[in-house]
Amino acid sequence: MPDSTILHPTSQSFDAEVLGSDLPVLVDFWAPWCPPCQMLKPIVASLAPEYAGRARIAMVNVDDQPELAERFGVQSIPALMIVKGGEVVDAFVGAMPKPALTAKLDAALR
């Protein structure tokens, strides 16, 4: 069953939901007070149905989950990473247009 829902992992569920995922996961570290994060949020959210069954999308609010931000060395937001097979295979900082984001996700699917 394709899953087009967006994950909202916590420090307790991150390992199971993201690192343990059988599909690659795009993780967006964001905060409500961050204007570039707010610009990127609808773009990231739109990827969930487009990549259903091929990849999963996770959003981590760094204010709510500071342990996760610290664990992954997030110093600037928005910070995004792609996790595949329990490993971070790509990481990037800053808002980007949807074509650039899909290109990075597509590369991780190969």
Domain annotation covers residue 76: yes
Catalytic residue among 18, 26, 34, 69, which? 34
Domain annotation covers residue 50: yes
Domain annotation covers residue 110: no
pLDDT tens digits for range 91-107: 999 999 999 999 999 99
- pTM of the predicted protein model: 0.94
Number of domains in the chain: 1
Residue 70, sorted as left (phi over 0), alpha (psi -120 to 50) or beta, turns out to be alpha
> What CATH number should be reported for the domain holding residue 21?
3.40.30.10
Tokens of 88: 């971070």
The Cα diameter of the chain in Å comes to 36
Alpha-carbon distance of 107 to 95, in angstroms, equals: 18
pLDDT tens digits for range 44-73: 999 999 999 999 999 999 999 999 999 999
Domain annotation covers residue 95: yes
Task: Note down the domain range covering 11.
Answer: 6-102
Domain annotation covers residue 30: yes
Which stretch of DSSP H or E encloses residue 72?
none
Catalytic residue among 7, 26, 27, 37, which? 37
Domain annotation covers residue 83: yes
**Is 34 considered catalytic here?**
yes
Do 53 and 2 meet the contact criterion of CB atoms below 8 Å apart? yes
